[in-house]
Chains A and B, each alone.
Chain A
Amino acid sequence: DIVMTQSPDSLAVSLGERATINCKSSQNILYNSNNRNYLSWYQQKPGQPPKLLIYWASTRESGVPDRFSGGGSGTDFTLTISSLQAEDVAIYYCQQYYSTPRTFGQGTKLEIK
């Protein structure tokens, strides 16, 4: 199984400041057939299912604000929120879909400082 490890487990950032979450995979998840990293980022708010924010490590899903960006390749990835808004308080998960089981990181809880 590919193990996904996020850091930190929790993060407190002031409104308008940058938030960065890291995700590391135990194996390379670059899919050679299309040169894309098979990694997604999700946002989950209380009582709701997760929402897809970023796919292929760096492509924003339709409708996602451009303050969200993803980066990285191979085994190391980041999710950055350039200017934190109150509505961004949530738990964020990374997930690899390169192989099965399609594993998630343990989650990062983002709060307002």
Chain B
Amino acid sequence: QVQLQQWGAGLLKPSANLSLTCAVYGGSFNGYYWSWIRQPPGKGLEWIGEINHSGSTNYNPSLKSRVTISVDTSKSQISLKVRSVTGADTAVYYCARLGTRFLKECSGTSCYNGNYRYGMDVWGQGTTVSVSS
């Protein structure tokens, strides 16, 4: 069973850089996109970005200028760096897997055969990051 374990500094001063790491245990690392998602206190979920084993990334445009997501396939780990944090970056940060399911079916004249993404099926435990002077 796949598990995600994450860690990183929990208390930062304004203008510092945030750094978190997420390790994948018990399953395949390749073939998936691995996401970072955050949740400010009492608020909803915000998708930060994702990376696959090849290092291909997608970022939320609202954070792209300050965020870097990287991968270390030798350790089955992904990392998140957010530069120049402010109080608005205070949140619980999660890593999660964008899972895929195999689908093989025909409907009418159309047939589908392959692995297709289906949702964030595995989540890390969350890391609380507080930004305060």
Q: Measuring CB to CB, which residues of chain A are less than 8 angstroms from any residue of chain B?
A: 1, 31, 33-36, 38, 40, 42, 49-52, 55-56, 59, 61, 93, 95, 97, 100-107
A112 to chain B, nearest CB (A): 20
- Annotate B37-50 by CB proximity to A: 1 below 8 A, 0 otherwise: 00000001111011
Knowing A100-B50, A102-B50, say if A36 contacts B124 (CB, 8 Å).
Answer: no
Residues on A with C-beta less than 8 A from B99 are: 52
**18 A-B pairs (CB sep. < 8 Å):** A33-B116, A34-B114, A35-B110, A35-B112, A40-B120, A42-B119, A49-B94, A50-B120, A52-B99, A55-B119, A61-B119, A93-B44, A95-B45, A100-B50, A100-B58, A102-B35, A102-B98, A107-B45
- Annotate B89-119 by CB proximity to A: 1 below 8 A, 0 otherwise: 0000010101101010001001010101111
Residues on A with C-beta less than 8 A from B94 are: 49-50
Q: Which of A36, A50, A104 contacts B116 (CB 8 A)?
A: A36
Knowing A1-B61, A33-B112, A49-B123, say if A38 contacts B46 (CB, 8 Å).
Answer: no
CA distance A12 to B99 in the complex (A): 32
Q: Measuring CB to CB, which residues of chain B are less than 8 angstroms from any residue of chain A?
A: 35, 44-47, 49-50, 58-62, 94, 96, 98-99, 101, 103, 107, 110, 112, 114, 116-121, 123-126
**Docked-complex contact B121 and A49, CB < 8 angstroms:** no
A105 to chain B, nearest CB (A): 8
Known: A33-B116, A102-B35, A102-B50. 10 other contacts (CB 8 A): A42-B120, A49-B96, A50-B120, A95-B45, A95-B47, A95-B120, A100-B59, A102-B98, A103-B47, A106-B44
**Docked-complex contact A104 and B46, CB < 8 angstroms:** yes
CA distance A105 to B44 in the complex (A): 8
**Docked-complex contact A93 and B120, CB < 8 angstroms:** no
B120 to chain A, nearest CB (A): 6
